[in-house]
Structure formats: structure tokens, C-alpha cells
Copies of this chain bind each other. A is one copy, B any other.
């Protein structure tokens, strides 16, 4: 059973657009010392879409080798075809991953009805040697996985949870209501971490936890400890920086924030551009204004 806070780790690149393993190592060590339950490699914030198949495998191998052994490593393996997703899931299982996180196919979005998506995910559940998380990410895919589809998938013995970035607290509530207690319902954005916990989520997968892992973990422990007012206050404090590094400015801002808080973000890969000086200032201001940076 999966619970606790995870972060979909960024992939630092060198100025020549190569994976910067040195910076990655630095980050892995720091995350390893936090209360994070684990990390997600090849997630959206890891720029998985910009990595070739061989880069993906090399990166996963490296991360598993160098990350804290007592924490989980989940790997994003969603490809457009069912077959390629299964093949990649098998490969990362071989490398020692604890679970896979699978985006729905989305290029042919008009064709992706519930029947077809059900078959896709259950075929993957059947064939993957390790547990499967469903990844609902309408902002990037243009597809929302309905709570009824996910509830149906939750009954597959090898499908163990969902990362839901839809932003709908109602949908998340329906998932809590309609799945068993051991099915992990994880919000996928720190903007509604506390409300999600309040309604029954047991963990989360949060881009913001790349830079503020301890604060994210603290919202969870405060809530568990019944400290509602403090959890609420910390949630409100995190809103602004979270909004900037996720929906407003995205990965380049997240990498810039890492540079400011003792992590090493590095460059993004083209077509993305490093953050402009002006926008970097926005990130810094938000960190200062809410007390994350002195």
C-alpha cells in the first residue's frame, strides 16, 4: 500500500542539453534525507517527453542506484501504444522500480472513450510485473479520466492508485468514496493538498515537493495530528509559489526555485527555455513574501 508524499523529480540538463547526472546526484541525496515516501522518475516535471528511450532507461537505472534504499521509486512509463507502455514497464521493473505511473494515450484524444481506456490500463495491469498507478493529467493530455472509469480500474489487483492532477476536489472525493481503502488516491498538485487530505487522500505526488519537500510532508503530519488550523495556514502559505512553479510558469520556474533553495535545477531542454531574469524575480519574490527564503 502506497501513502505519504512523493515528488516527480526534475531532470537537470547541462547547457549542451545532456542529462546532468552530477546535479541529479546532489538532488537525490538531499531528497533522500527528507520525509518523502519516494520519488517519481520520468514524470511530467522530469521532462520525460523530451527523453529518448535509451536516455529514459539510463536515467532510471542511475536514479534507482543512487537514491535512498528505504524509499520508493515510481517510474512514468506511459507511451501512446499499449504495447510500448508494457515493454517499458517491464524494462523498468527489471531495473528495480517499485511501481509504474501510466498516463493515458492522448494523441488520438477523440477516440479515447472509457471502454478503450479500460482495456488499455487493464492490459498494462495484467502484464506489468510491478504495481500500476493511473495518471490523470487533463491539463497536458486533454483527457479527463472519469471517477467511474478509475473506480472500475481500481478493482484490478495490480492497479494500486491514481495521481490526479485534474484539480477537481469533487472527482477526488468520488474516488475516495468509490475505491477500497488500500487504493492510493493521490492529488497531483500541492495547491489542494490539505483539502485532499481532509476528504480522505492518504498521500500525494507533488511537483512542489522538489523544492519544499519538508513543508509538503508537514501538511500531512499536521493533518494527521489533528492540527487543522496549522495545516490550513501552511496550505495557504504554499499556494503562491506552487501556482508559479506549476500552472503559471512551469518547469523552468521549478528549476529556478530549486537553484534558490539548495537544489540544482539546471537547464530545461529545447523547446523549453530557461527562465528570464524578470520571471526569476517573480519566483524569488514569491519565496520571500511567504517566508521560504530570507
Which residues of A does B touch, CB under 8 Å?
Answer: 17, 44, 49-53, 80-84, 105, 107-112, 115-117, 119-120, 123, 139-140, 142, 167-170, 173-174, 176-177, 189, 191-192, 194-196, 198-200, 226, 228, 232, 235-236, 239, 243, 247, 250-252, 269-273
Contacts and interface: CB of A to CB of B under 8 A. Distances in A.
User: At the interface, is chain A mostly helix, strand, loop or mixed?
Assistant: helix
A150 to B, nearest CB: 15
A132 B283 CA distance: 35
Contacts of A17: 83
Given A49-B80, A236-B177, A108 B270 contact: no
A161 B271 CA distance: 21
A80 to B, nearest CB: 4
A108 B49 contact: yes
B120 A243 contact: no
A82 B83 CA distance: 26
A84 B52 contact: yes
Given A84-B52, A140-B108, A170 B199 contact: no
Contacts of A250: 108, 110-111
A17 B82 CA distance: 11
Given A109-B140, A111-B250, A173-B195, 19 more contacts: A50-B80, A50-B83, A110-B139, A115-B273, A117-B271, A120-B271, A167-B168, A169-B191, A170-B192, A173-B191, A173-B192, A173-B235, A173-B236, A176-B236, A198-B228, A198-B232, A199-B235, A199-B236, A200-B236
A205 to B, nearest CB: 16
B191 A199 contact: no
A82 B49 contact: no
A238 to B, nearest CB: 10
A84 B173 contact: no
